[in-house]
Structure 1
């Protein structure tokens, strides 16, 4: 009887966790978008005509379902960078590695569970250099909310995605790189949340700005979506604490410059220095390319067999 009495609370807890899990569903259409950037009018390819694309927010234990329509002229897939894909390898989105791409005018539904992960990841196109414009944040919250953080809950959270911008078609950038045998040519701008800074007076330019309250603590979810460059990120006038790197909490340490790699870094800082401050790349050579933003401090157990691929799995041609 004593064993049965102990089993009941465990079963109730398991049922509660299962009941609280949700299905997070999105519809993405990857297609052309007109944009004016760096004094040039261009057509780029994005998800839902957004750059960065839509942010996916889920909770640990949820199932993510993303219906993708390929309205571009390129075969492509979407990769969920950092997701474990336990028994869902068909949804990994690694073009010509785990699957064939979604052909132009085709569609595919990605479905995967988020198990044992929380933090800041990202998603991006996995073909050609389309990842330069087809990307977005993937944020996984703890099952029990901000109480699940291994640090005090922040006053606010701000996703920041660093990227690169070419005036040329990114497919041509990749083709030129293949011809030379080198990496992609230097980008024409570096961006924060899609904005290239105020290096030109033309329409479409701009700096990403955010207002923060004096003496409050903020969590910055920083993602390096740049294709081929390391970026040194600094918050002027403030120190901050690094609390997570590459989908894992880390022993907190204080610094004033970080170098997020091809993944993400989460930092906490207290907005205790009133005024307007740059968040920017700490390499002088990158500042003229636009990598800067402004923040204003105001007022101071499972089966081990991989399921078969879904019926609508993309086919190679």
Structure 2
């Protein structure tokens, strides 16, 4: 039976070859593991993808031409660096030994062993790195976000993108008590009556995970429409986007959003976008205005403890003043 590191490596190799994560194949592979091993595996491959920009920067300090290595060897090294730098619970000797065993060719086994051992003795100084490296984002993306006219402080957004997503649920008090008795740990949300899952306990209860911003909007009287757009707000859930998202994605997504919104058969509605790019928000609303829609002001707190950045075409929300980065506008057909 394949172990956690082997499965994580196969997922990373598949991503590099195909450009996406095969969710069904991943689910099947994970089903063979224990609960704890599944958590470790998911943390390995998602964490390595999340920290990939920074990890590759670290590897360049020890390898002359890392891009010349076979993809599988590079991914073994990435997994090793992720464990050495970001998983304190994994002993250094285990991270090195298990990484070496993932490599079949002796010469590459020796290389992986030498590089990872050197890393443990000569750590790269990560202080003073530019924001894009410190927060492991593509440089173009950080430059883009920094220049957005409605971005007050980029650091909380970059931190949010790098943090594993919290699972949010609405649970009635009786079930909440039962779950806590089974070892589940929840924390209350700052923005609604939803709860955040901190630690999973025994068993697999049927809980319906929610998007808290969507949940809050559904509590309003008006109709709500949710669109993903380029999914810029979902980098923490889909860290492979750090590698696949391109500058032109925002313009392409805007055109798709425009077509979809024009087909909505509702006179007025809240529009929740899981993105905050200029193209998919400001430019989109301007084009909608040319096609018979107008923006209507609304209470940006949404009746909750939310704080948004108000513009004359909608409101941007960013952590820590909202559950996640997003854009909301209220549109009415003229």
Whichever structure has more helix as a proportion of its residues is 2
| Larger RCO (CA within 8 A; separation ≥ 6) | 1
For Structure 1 versus Structure 2, the TM-score category normalised by the shorter chain is under 0.3
TM-score between the two structures when normalised by the length of structure 1: 0.27
Whichever structure has more strand as a proportion of its residues is 1
TM-score between the two structures when normalised by the length of structure 2: 0.26
Greater Rg over alpha carbons, structure:
2
